[in-house]
Amino acid sequence: MKWLDEFFERKSRKVAQSASRRSALIGIGKLLVGSAFVLPVLPFDRTAQAAGAAASKKAAGKLPTDQDCEYWRYCAQDGYLCNCCGGTASSCPPGTEASKVSWIGTCHNPEDGKDYLISYNDCCGKTACGRCFCNTNEREMPGYRMGLHNDINWCMANDSTMFHCTLATVVGLANSQS
């Protein structure tokens, strides 16, 4: 083990003679800044957490209601539920109006086993509701597929661009292709 101590001592002395404290701090700074940009981009698998939450609700015997993020209609939801803000799942609260543009999702209804096409419209005209925020993003597409992407202020086509809450309106039965 003495040879290992001597090896590290030689290497440490060589680094100390050839590098200054300033260059060491610069290297550490580059490492920290570089990792700050890389770490948030790394993918994280959260499917186990979602499955665990769904299993615990099933075990409790409580099915999600239309005021829970786990409700089947909210599979591509991103925003505050209008149910909690004075409206319903398919109508805006008083004082707001539905956005003229929307994003779409196909959600599976476990009760009847069918897939439905859901139109998500933001309700515009008031400040954000602040209650019942859901961000499920199931099968969300990247931002360059505008009609399938939900991280946009969809109130941009309305007179008032203030976002209040989000509707999840069933448009129809999804066409299954075999």
Assess whether 103 carries a catalytic annotation: yes
Determine whether 122 is an active site residue. yes
Tokens of 159: 């007179």
Calculate Rg over the CA atoms of the chain: 25
Question: First CA to last CA across the chain, in angstroms?
Answer: 67
3-state secondary structure of 4: helix
The active-site residue, picked from 72, 78, 103, 154, is 103
Distances in Å between the Cα of 170 and the Cα atoms of 29, 37, 50 are 51, 39, 23
User: Which one of 45, 122, 154, 159 is the catalytic residue?
Assistant: 122
95 and 87 Cβ atoms separated by less than 8 Å: no
Catalytic residues: 103, 122
